[in-house]
Chain A
Amino acid sequence: MQMTDKEFDESIRRMCESVEVAPDAGGWDRIEKAMVRRSRVTWAVRGFAAAAVAAVVIGMFISPEGDSPVTAEVVPVGITDQLAAVQPVVVSPEPVVPALSGSPRRDPVSAVAVVPAASACEEEMPVADVIPGPAAPQEIPPSDDEQSSGTENPDVKPASGERSLEEQIREAQYLAYAEDEEKPKKKGVSIDASSDMYTLFGSGNVSFSRRNMSGGSGSSADFVIKPLNGEYPSHSFPISAGLGLRFSFGRFGIGTGVNYTYMKSSYEALVYDNDYYPAKTYQASVDQSLHYIGIPVTFLCDIITSDKLSFYASAGGVVEKGFGLKYRLMSRDGNISYKSLGVDGLQWSVDLGLGLEYRFLKFMGVYLDPRLTYYFYCDQPYSIRLEQPLQLNLNLGFRFHL
């Protein structure tokens, strides 16, 4: 009797439901390790992200620089526009400030030549001309309808010895500008020369859940290395150095550059080599060296700054290209062979960190950046980054401020 499609489907489904396939031995161990790893990454990333966010938020509230609120609050109506056009000036020993009516007078307190009221503005010289810089205060010529020089305008002179509102404004501005002048410049470019130190927490138990650990380009069919599980690999401290360029915009900044990393590992592996005829598979002790060159991009946020010290948060990522993958293979019977391969693909990583810089010279400082870096699985040759994708790095170097 013919089966309908529905009957056929139902029969197939019933037959397949009961089929079971025994998983490979060690499956549970791999799953357990993956869960532990995921949990560590989750908590470490959460904790570090929370710390970085908290630091940034606290830094925003601390507000190490900013306009003095006094200026904004006490500026009387009518003077606001003119004051907004005033350029900040350096303190001069005998600043000259015109009175509101236009006649110049010498005021020992103020350091800013304030453009007077609108009616006199058109006749006065522009502020930039009046305030050329740190050394040379100039007098603003009075308007035509002003009284002769040397006579104070009775409208401006405070009564009973108290300072006038205008004097208070100028004093506040002076204090605000003077404070700004003393601080290090917030806009600029700097060059970093640095090196990295790494903390390695590798347990030696590597989870080789990935099917193939072949190294290099063109090797997936001709040359395969599969590190043996249970054999403790040995990873030397990666060696890193770099040059960076940093652009600052106020409290924020962006950095990029180039860095170089060298990694060395030793481990036991199963090797499949098609260079032989017939192709052979054998166990070998492997010494591997691998180089990476990368381009980092980092976003920075100053948290606290002063003349000498600055504390900041950073977040960013690096893309790296591997090259110069070399194997030294020693088989069980003592034969040694060498293999050099290219490296396919790119290694991506992200990082989150805090930094501290001490400026011992005006143009130069030394900095220390502890950061948490996570290396994504990108099908790269086996290295410490596969065993320990989350690493705590210490980046230290010199920064030259241009």
Chain B
Amino acid sequence: MPFDDAYYQDEAVLVGACMKNDRKAQRIVYEKYAPRMLALCMRYVGDRDAAQDVLQDGFVTVFGKMGSYSGEGSFEGWMRRIFVNQALMKLRKSDVLKDAMDISDMKGHEPFQDDVLDRLQGEVIYDLISSMPVGFRTVFNLSVIEGFSHQEIALKLGISEGASRSQLSRARVWLQERITKMENRCR
């Protein structure tokens, strides 16, 4: 049944139409959320081509599992969880997480100043996160961006809670050092 775009403005209507396999509604969902989801995928897998694969698989899964969206919480939040799982599956398949959780010694770092971030754009931070070592990147994304607890991260990645906390600390230090270096270069 052809509807114009105005019909799909309301998210509840859009989601309901997707559940009925309305292709137009699905396409609108894709066009609306694909840029953010691709950014999410690239933050996890680091590589654009691999992120495109995850994006495609993620949307196929989203549209296939629309029936399981109960309406609790935001639709975008529900989709993000699916994409995060797809990204983790991709990383597991590539075996990159296998040895990525080795804890290495890191030097002590300078305290981070709060005004440094104000001078940077989001894209810069995003690029830095995408270039992190995969173990740091995965835990940092899951903890800081997605908000999972260390217990949940430990379950997802098959590591201990202690390892998750250590990885996060080291990821934070890694990121702060690079932000500081970048800031010093720009001055």
Known: A19-B39, A35-B64. A13 touches B144 (CB 8 A): yes
Report whether A2 and B113 are in contact in the complex, using a CB–CB cutoff of 8 Å.
Answer: yes
Contacts of B126 in A (CB 8 A): 15-16, 19
B131 interfacial by beta-carbon distance below 8 Å: no
B30 interfacial by beta-carbon distance below 8 Å: yes
Report whether A12 and B39 are in contact in the complex, using a CB–CB cutoff of 8 Å.
Answer: no
Query: Which of B30, B112, B143, B172 has a CB less than 8 Å from the CB of A31?
Result: B30
Known: A3-B113, A7-B114. A34 touches B60 (CB 8 A): yes
Query: Which of B27, B56, B144, B145 has a CB less than 8 Å from the CB of A30?
Result: B56
Name A1-44 residues within 8 Å CB distance of B: 1-3, 5, 7-9, 11-13, 15-24, 27-28, 30-32, 34-35, 38
Q: How far is the CA of A30 from the CA of B34 in the complex (A)?
A: 13
Contacts of A17 in B (CB 8 A): 145
A332 interfacial by beta-carbon distance below 8 Å: no
Contacts of A23 in B (CB 8 A): 34-35, 38, 52, 55
Q: How far is the CA of A15 from the CA of B60 in the complex (A)?
A: 28
Write the B2-34 contact mask toward A (1 if CB under 8 angstroms, else 0). Answer: 000000000000000000000100010011001
Q: Is the interface of B mostly helix, strand, loop or mixed?
A: helix
Known: A9-B172, A13-B145, A28-B30. A3 touches B125 (CB 8 A): no
Known: A8-B176, A20-B35. A31 touches B56 (CB 8 A): yes
Report whether A16 and B172 are in contact in the complex, using a CB–CB cutoff of 8 Å.
Answer: no
A205 interfacial by beta-carbon distance below 8 Å: no
Name B84-137 residues within 8 Å CB distance of A: 111-115, 117, 120-123, 125-126, 129
Which of B42-50, B67-75, B149-157 is near enough to bind chain A?
Answer: B42-50
Q: How far is the CA of A209 from the CA of B56 in the complex (A)?
A: 8
Q: How far is the CA of A210 from the CA of B53 in the complex (A)?
A: 7
A211 interfacial by beta-carbon distance below 8 Å: yes
Q: How many residues of A contact B (CB 8 A)?
A: 31
- Distance between B171 CB and nearest chain A CB, rounded to angstroms: 10
Contacts of B147 in A (CB 8 A): 13
Q: How far is the CA of A260 from the CA of B55 in the complex (A)?
A: 37
Contacts of A5 in B (CB 8 A): 172
Q: How far is the CA of A261 from the CA of B121 in the complex (A)?
A: 57
Interface residues on B, range: 35 or more
Contacts of A32 in B (CB 8 A): 23, 27
Report whether A3 and B114 are in contact in the complex, using a CB–CB cutoff of 8 Å.
Answer: yes
Known: A32-B23, A38-B64, A211-B49. A21 touches B114 (CB 8 A): no
Report whether B112 and A8 are in contact in the complex, using a CB–CB cutoff of 8 Å.
Answer: yes
Contacts of A9 in B (CB 8 A): 143-144, 172
Q: How far is the CA of A16 from the CA of B42 in the complex (A)?
A: 12
Query: Which of A2, A12, A27 has a CB less than 8 Å from the CB of B55?
Result: A27
Task: Identify the interface centre among A1, A31, A211: most chain B CB within 10 Å of its CB.
Answer: A31
Contacts of B112 in A (CB 8 A): 2-3, 8
- Distance between A200 CB and nearest chain B CB, rounded to angstroms: 24
Task: Identify the interface centre among A11, A17, A21: most chain B CB within 10 Å of its CB.
Answer: A21
Contacts of A18 in B (CB 8 A): 122
Which residue on chain B has the smallest CB distance to residue A42?
A: B64
Report whether A21 and B145 are in contact in the complex, using a CB–CB cutoff of 8 Å.
Answer: no
Report whether A16 and B35 are in contact in the complex, using a CB–CB cutoff of 8 Å.
Answer: no
Contacts of B120 in A (CB 8 A): 15
Which residue on chain B has the smallest CB distance to residue A212?
A: B49
Report whether B27 and A28 are in contact in the complex, using a CB–CB cutoff of 8 Å.
Answer: yes
Contacts of A2 in B (CB 8 A): 111-114
Query: Which of A11, A12, A21, A34 has a CB less than 8 Å from the CB of B56?
Result: A34
- Distance between B12 CB and nearest chain A CB, rounded to angstroms: 22
Task: Identify the interface centre among B31, B121, B122: most chain A CB within 10 Å of its CB.
Answer: B122
Which residue on chain B has the smallest CB distance to residue A7?
A: B114
- Distance between B16 CB and nearest chain A CB, rounded to angstroms: 18
Q: How far is the CA of A8 from the CA of B145 in the complex (A)?
A: 12
B83 interfacial by beta-carbon distance below 8 Å: no
Known: A1-B113, A7-B114, A209-B53. A12 touches B125 (CB 8 A): yes
Query: Which of B35, B114, B125 has a CB less than 8 Å from the CB of A22?
Result: B35
Known: A9-B144, A19-B123. A31 touches B117 (CB 8 A): no
B63 interfacial by beta-carbon distance below 8 Å: yes
Contacts of B36 in A (CB 8 A): 19-20
Contacts of A30 in B (CB 8 A): 56
B175 interfacial by beta-carbon distance below 8 Å: yes
Q: How far is the CA of A15 from the CA of B127 in the complex (A)?
A: 12
Report whether A15 and B125 are in contact in the complex, using a CB–CB cutoff of 8 Å.
Answer: yes
A-B interface, 6 closest residue pairs, ranked by CB to CB distance from nearest:
A20-B35, A15-B122, A2-B111, A3-B114, A19-B126, A9-B144
| 12 more A-B residue pairs beyond the given contacts A18-B122, A21-B38, with a C-beta to C-beta distance below 8 A | A1-B115, A8-B172, A8-B176, A12-B125, A12-B175, A13-B147, A15-B122, A19-B36, A19-B122, A27-B56, A35-B60, A38-B60
- Cross-chain pairs A/B with CB under 8 angstroms, 24 sampled: A1-B115, A2-B111, A2-B112, A3-B111, A3-B114, A7-B114, A11-B117, A12-B117, A12-B129, A12-B144, A13-B147, A15-B120, A15-B121, A15-B126, A16-B39, A16-B43, A16-B129, A21-B39, A22-B35, A24-B52, A27-B55, A30-B56, A32-B27, A211-B52
Interfacial residues, chain B to chain A (CB-CB below 8 A): 23, 27, 30-31, 34-36, 38-39, 42-43, 49-53, 55-56, 59-60, 63-64, 111-115, 117, 120-123, 125-126, 129, 143-145, 147, 172, 175-176
